[in-house]
Amino acid sequence: MKESDIPKVIEILKKHYESWEAPVVTLVAQHTNDPFRVLICALLSTRTKDETTAKVCQKFFKKVKTPEDILRLSTEQLEELIYPVGFYRNKAKQLKELARILIEDFKGRVPDKLEDLLKLPGVGRKVANLVLSDGYGIPAICVDTHVHRITNRWCLVKTKTPHETERELMRKLPKEYWIVINRLLVAFGQRICTPQKPKCDLCPIEEFCGKCGVG
C-alpha cells in the first residue's frame, strides 16, 4: 500500500465500519466520552473476549462512577464485580492501586498526558493511547494486535513490534486519521482481515493491499 492510498482506504473502511462489530472500548467512549470509563474498560478487556468485557463493564459502571467508588469496595467485592474477565483477581488488586494513585497523584482525574498515563498500573502504550484518543479526543495511535498485523500485511509498514508500528504510523499517517485508525482496523481485523486465513475475497480494499505475509 502506498501512502497516497491512505485517504481512499480510510474512507472505504468508514463506509463499511457500521456493518462490522465495533470494539467494545470504542463503543464505551462513543456513548460516554469519559476517560475513566475508557481506561477501566481497556484494562478489563485484556485477555478477555469483547462480549464478556461489554457485560462486565455494564455491570461495573452501575456501581462505580469514580476512583473513590473503587476504594469503597473491598477486593473481594471488586473480584465479584469484574468476574469473569481474564485474571480478575489480579485486576481487582490493580484497580485498587489505580484508584489510589489517581486520587493521590492526579486529584481523582485520569491524566491526559502519555507520560503520566504510563505511570498507572497495568497501563502500557496501547491503553494509554486509547485513553488519549477515545477518552480525550487527543490525536494518538493505539496500536494493538490488529493494527500491527494489518498495517504490516498492507506493506504500509515493515515492523516487528507494536511500538515500532506506532512510530512508523505516526510518520506515515496524516494526523487526522490517528484517532480513527484503531477502531476501523479492530473491526476490520475481527471480521475481514483475520489473523488466520484473511477473507480477501470479501475485502473492500483488496486492490490497495500489498498482502505481505499472506500465502
The CATH number for 62's domain is: 1.10.340.30
Please tell me whether the overall predicted TM-score, pTM, comes out greater than 0.85 for this model. Answer: yes
Question: Same domain for 85 and 169?
Answer: no
What's the pLDDT at 24?
Answer: 66
What's the pLDDT at 28?
Answer: 63
What's the pLDDT at 26?
Answer: 64
The pLDDT tens digits of the residues spanning 81-90 come to 999 999 999 9
C-alpha cell at 99: 484508584
Residue 214: inside a domain: no
The domain boundary, picked from 112, 136, 160, lies at 136
Count CB-CB contacts under 10 A for residue 160: 9
| Domain region containing 98 | 24-136
What's the pLDDT at 23?
Answer: 66
Q: Among all residues, which ones are annotated catalytic? A: 126, 144
Residue 150: inside a domain: yes
Question: Same domain for 145 and 180?
Answer: yes
Distance CA 6, CA 99 (A): 40
What's the pLDDT at 27?
Answer: 59
Residues in the chain where the model's pLDDT stays below 50: none
Residue 213: inside a domain: no
What's the pLDDT at 18?
Answer: 87
What's the pLDDT at 47?
Answer: 87
